[in-house]
Structure 1
Amino acid sequence: MNELPLPSNVGGGGGKAPGLPKSLLNYVPEPLQPLFENPFFSAGFGLVGLGSIMALGRKGFQTSLIQARRYFFVSVEVPSKDKSFHWLMEWLALKKGTNTRHVSVETTFHQHESGDIVSKINFVPSVGTHYVMYKGRVIKVDRTREKNVIDMNSGNLWESITLTTLGTSRDVFHRLIEETRLMAMDKEEGKTIIYTSVGTDWRRFGHPRRKRPIQSVILDTGVSDEIIADVKKFLSNANWYNDRGIPYRRGYLLYGPPGTGKSSFINALAGELQLSICILNLAGKNVSDSTLNHLLSTAPQRSIILLEDIDSAIPDSVVQQTSQKLQLQQQSQQNQGYEGYGFNTYGGGGGSSGSGLTFSGLLNALDGVAASEGRILFMTTNHIQKLDKVLIRPGRVDMKMYIGLSTPYQLERMFLKFYPGEIDHAKKFVDLLANHTVSPAQLQGYFMQHSDDPIKALENYNQLLTDKTIAAPKTE
């Protein structure tokens, strides 16, 4: 049978189109050579082979990029829940604020010494990819935001920043984050940061406050120095506690009449020792036993946890119910021959209904098995007689300090604070109030009425005495 002529566009002209060249056919097994001599099959094989080669090349290129990124680039991801995320955002605002076209607006506030708050608008790189120079190196900044994921700490959408640069060492990121931290700390230098509990998280309350000088809170002779010395000793003796197997935590109770400077002293103490203050409201609706444990264990480092008016934190009925149960447990243990071993199980009962905080839960949080370490806890009360003894026993409260009404020493010191150098007038003022008691807060309010004239403060002292809410005769 005659062979059919091939189309003119296949092979050369109108003759028989050649298959694979003979030089290549020699490498093909004999049974398959007729198949490869077919021009249509050989043409298709060539296209498939070319496509396979291109696919393999593309895959190899992608793999090479992945390997190059793995071995020749370093990166770090900073999530929005981490403190360093905000440090980086402030740093990027300064670094890229002038030459970045795609930015987001971030408004910050600054509080002056007078209390005035001034707003400042910063432009930070928006979501996307940006490039910055840091110490001669190009750093790629990828800012991403999840649309359906909420950061429970801030209530905002979840974000992250990924930093990438050429190299094999992460030291550049350590230096960068440390630089951003120092920059942020400079803004808070000389200020006290206040935190408050929101659910299971600690959030900053208001703006950082100017540190209150410890000398501005005038307590009775030696009281302030004794507390400061004890806290300093605790902060510097972590190894001493660990070596002796003693839980590394310290509790303080300041008690006395209202207006005597208990809270003011704690504020000044935090400034003196460069600590922050975490205000914990036990009467909150969302505070439960587990919430309290979580808050105490996650409090910011180098901070004072403050429980103000601890006598009002839990209803008296709940305290009495738990106290009675603890006494029954103690009697039961003594009857069973465990006298001397003590007890520290406060679980079960003794609590309010629902998921609120129980008195037994408070006791366990303060010194139970799960109690946090490295903690400085201050409690204040105006009515120490209302506190159950199990709450303020050693181990939960290590130092009790009475902060009372003004003594002659305090009267003189406060007079000189408002009227420096007026020593004679200060002594006369002390003599005028020799038979009366007055709180430091009441004295301060009176001196502020006559802030410019010590003579008027002496002449009008009867205004201080006639006000029954301000002063009362001393009782022996």
Structure 2
Amino acid sequence: MNEAGTNEPFLGQLLGDNPYFSAGFGLMALGAGLTVARRGFLQASQLTRRWLICDLEIASKDASYDWFLDFMAKQQRNRHSEASKMSKPSFLGRILKPQTRSFAVETTYKQHANGSITASFELVPGPGRHLVKWNDAYILMTRERSERLMDNSRNKPFETLKLQTLYTHKYVFNEMLKAAQQSAQQRQSGKTVMYTSLGPEWRQFGLPRRKRSLDSVILASGVKERLLGDIESFLDSQKWYSDRGVPYRRGYLLYGPPGSGKTSVIQALAGELDYNICILNLAEVTLTDDRLNHLLNNVPPRSFLLLEDVDSAFNEARKKNAEFGSGVTFSGLLNSLDGVTSAEERIVFMTTNHPERLDPALIRPGRVDFKALIDNATPNQVKNMFQQFYGPEYAEEFVELVLKRNIPVSTAQLQGLFIFHKGDPKGAIASFESITE
């Protein structure tokens, strides 16, 4: 038999008659086909996602992060309230209805004078995936929390919110962000927000406070009226400043003895003008020149910047620390207030109990444009405060007692006395001598 005749039966047996080879070849072909199909499916899904799906990411460092979480919690409450009033939804409605099954709790509480605590609990979407609906658009929201990175501005783990929807519904992102901002503003309506510095950013301190009425602050005649008039004039003069090339900034120095109402009138002015307050402690050891400059150039809109007890920031101990590179320097403060890099459209309040300790360079015009003495209570202040708490009866008697004692009395001392004797003017009169001893 020739060589060819010898090989043909062998090849035939190997290729056609051998079931093991046929099965292996078939599996290889099937595997290759599945691999190609899988790659095609992944490419098709990626292409589809690229053209049909759009994403939005919100980092926890962004101001809108908390707004959006609170807004989502509010929407969830509204949906539950509406669902309880409606009949059973259709099958399709049950399949596609927005769902949030993972929550995180945010607790706020208030401790009362009698020791009791009133707490409120807010359920916000927790880490994980949530299906939400805005108008007619369905959105997949994913909240992710890092196990390694920290968000120093919040002193919490770094988080992100990722929103996904159809490309044709991308407009809902702007709508939802604007609605979240409006919802946050509504919660703060009629209130004053306090900010403190946390790292390089301003962060809200505590809950928004009810606006303080300007009438509730009783100062010497004309003081608060002059302050309010000057601020209103400044706010109406932006074009005047711009036309003359003058930096659009205004600085105020309120000085006087402790407890005379310096901080109170600032809070009342903020409430009157619908402003918030950013409080900065210059004596903070971790505050540096660079951080100070950054904070002063990034004050939230419509906010007063308050530097309390500015005289204590540069005592001998602080100056000694500054020599070793710890804390803000005096030249750093001056440059932040009106240097080349200082921001405009800014209103700065400084307070001090000892104006004589302030360096003239700090309170020169351009850094301090308006000075106001907030002194101990005058007889007229004493009378007005007494009437505010008790009415006109016994007011003259109380004023005569104060004049007879001839001892300086602060408005804080008077307020403490009147609060202790709520509804008891005679008790306040009888106890007046105890606050001046």
Which TM-score applies when normalising by structure 2?
0.81
Asked if 1:355 corresponds to 2:355, the answer is no
In the alignment, which residue of structure 2 is the partner of 1:418?
389
Q: How far apart are residue 395 of structure 1 and its match?
A: 0.7
Aligned equivalents of 1:122, 1:356: Cα separation in 2? 38
Q: Does the 8 Å contact 2:280/2:306 carry over to 1?
A: yes
Asked if 1:74 corresponds to 2:54, the answer is yes
Q: CA RMSD in A?
A: 3.3
Determine helix, strand or coil for the equivalent of 1:258.
Answer: coil
Aligned equivalents of 1:408, 1:135: Cα separation in 2? 62
Q: How far apart are residue 61 of structure 1 and its match?
A: 4.0
Q: How far apart are residue 236 of structure 1 and its match?
A: 4.0
Q: How far apart are residue 184 of structure 1 and its match?
A: 2.5
In the alignment, which residue of structure 1 is the partner of 2:89?
none
Q: How far apart are residue 378 of structure 1 and its match?
A: 0.6
**Would the alpha carbon gap of residues 456 and 311 (structure 1) be closer, same or farther in structure 2, given more than 3 Å must change?**
same
In the alignment, which residue of structure 2 is the partner of 1:160?
160
Q: How far apart are residue 255 of structure 1 and its match?
A: 0.7
**Sequence identity percentage:** 42
From 396, 400, 422, give the equivalent of 1:451: 422
**1:181-200 deviation line (CA, Å, top 9, x unaligned):** 22223333322222222343
Q: How is 1:40-439 mapped onto 2 (pairs within 5 angstroms)?
A: 58-96=38-76, 100=99, 102-111=101-110, 118-168=118-168, 170-316=170-316, 351-420=322-391, 422=392, 425-434=394-403, 436=406, 437-439=408-410
Determine helix, strand or coil for the equivalent of 2:152.
Answer: coil
Q: How far apart are residue 51 of structure 1 and its match?
A: 7.4
| 1:375 partner letter | R
In the alignment, which residue of structure 1 is the partner of 2:12?
7
**Would the alpha carbon gap of residues 104 and 448 (structure 1) be closer, same or farther in structure 2, given more than 3 Å must change?**
closer
Q: Does the 8 Å contact 2:106/2:124 carry over to 1?
A: no
**Would the alpha carbon gap of residues 199 and 129 (structure 1) be closer, same or farther in structure 2, given more than 3 Å must change?**
closer
Determine helix, strand or coil for the equivalent of 1:263.
Answer: helix
Q: How far apart are residue 109 of structure 1 and its match?
A: 0.8
**Would the alpha carbon gap of residues 433 and 143 (structure 1) be closer, same or farther in structure 2, given more than 3 Å must change?**
closer
Equivalenced residues, count = 406
Aligned equivalents of 2:103, 2:58: Cα separation in 1? 18
| 1:412 partner letter | K
Q: How far apart are residue 267 of structure 1 and its match?
A: 1.6
**Structure 2, unaligned stretches of length 5 or more?**
81-97
Determine helix, strand or coil for the equivalent of 2:58.
Answer: strand
Q: How far apart are residue 122 of structure 1 and its match?
A: 3.8
Determine helix, strand or coil for the equivalent of 2:202.
Answer: strand
Aligned equivalents of 1:431, 1:294: Cα separation in 2? 52
Q: Does the 8 Å contact 1:260/1:441 carry over to 2?
A: yes
Q: Does the 8 Å contact 1:113/1:210 carry over to 2?
A: no
**Structure 1, unaligned stretches of length 5 or more?**
15-39, 322-349, 470-476
**Would the alpha carbon gap of residues 74 and 432 (structure 1) be closer, same or farther in structure 2, given more than 3 Å must change?**
same
| 1:286 partner letter | T
Q: How far apart are residue 119 of structure 1 and its match?
A: 2.8
Q: Does the 8 Å contact 1:219/1:403 carry over to 2?
A: yes
Q: How far apart are residue 100 of structure 1 and its match?
A: 4.5
Q: Does the 8 Å contact 2:413/2:435 carry over to 1?
A: no
**Would the alpha carbon gap of residues 57 and 356 (structure 1) be closer, same or farther in structure 2, given more than 3 Å must change?**
same
Determine helix, strand or coil for the equivalent of 2:12.
Answer: coil
Aligned equivalents of 1:156, 1:71: Cα separation in 2? 36
| 1:151 partner letter | D
| 2:395 partner letter | A
Mark the structure with the bigger radius of gyration: 1
Q: How far apart are residue 316 of structure 1 and its match?
A: 4.8
Q: Does the 8 Å contact 1:304/1:377 carry over to 2?
A: yes
Q: Does the 8 Å contact 1:87/1:184 carry over to 2?
A: yes
Q: Does the 8 Å contact 1:109/1:117 carry over to 2?
A: no
Aligned equivalents of 1:318, 1:85: Cα separation in 2? 37
**Would the alpha carbon gap of residues 239 and 57 (structure 1) be closer, same or farther in structure 2, given more than 3 Å must change?**
farther
Aligned equivalents of 1:218, 1:159: Cα separation in 2? 46
Q: How far apart are residue 252 of structure 1 and its match?
A: 0.5
**1:388-447 deviation line (CA, Å, top 9, x unaligned):** 111100111111111112223312211220123x2x643444344446342212222333
In the alignment, which residue of structure 2 is the partner of 1:464?
432
Q: Does the 8 Å contact 1:103/1:123 carry over to 2?
A: no
Determine helix, strand or coil for the equivalent of 1:172.
Answer: helix
Q: Does the 8 Å contact 1:73/1:166 carry over to 2?
A: yes
Q: Does the 8 Å contact 1:149/1:157 carry over to 2?
A: yes
Aligned equivalents of 2:139, 2:361: Cα separation in 1? 58
**Would the alpha carbon gap of residues 303 and 63 (structure 1) be closer, same or farther in structure 2, given more than 3 Å must change?**
same
Determine helix, strand or coil for the equivalent of 2:314.
Answer: coil
Aligned equivalents of 2:221, 2:422: Cα separation in 1? 25
In the alignment, which residue of structure 2 is the partner of 1:23?
none
Aligned equivalents of 1:174, 1:431: Cα separation in 2? 64
Q: Does the 8 Å contact 1:405/1:440 carry over to 2?
A: yes
In the alignment, which residue of structure 1 is the partner of 2:92?
none
**Would the alpha carbon gap of residues 455 and 117 (structure 1) be closer, same or farther in structure 2, given more than 3 Å must change?**
closer
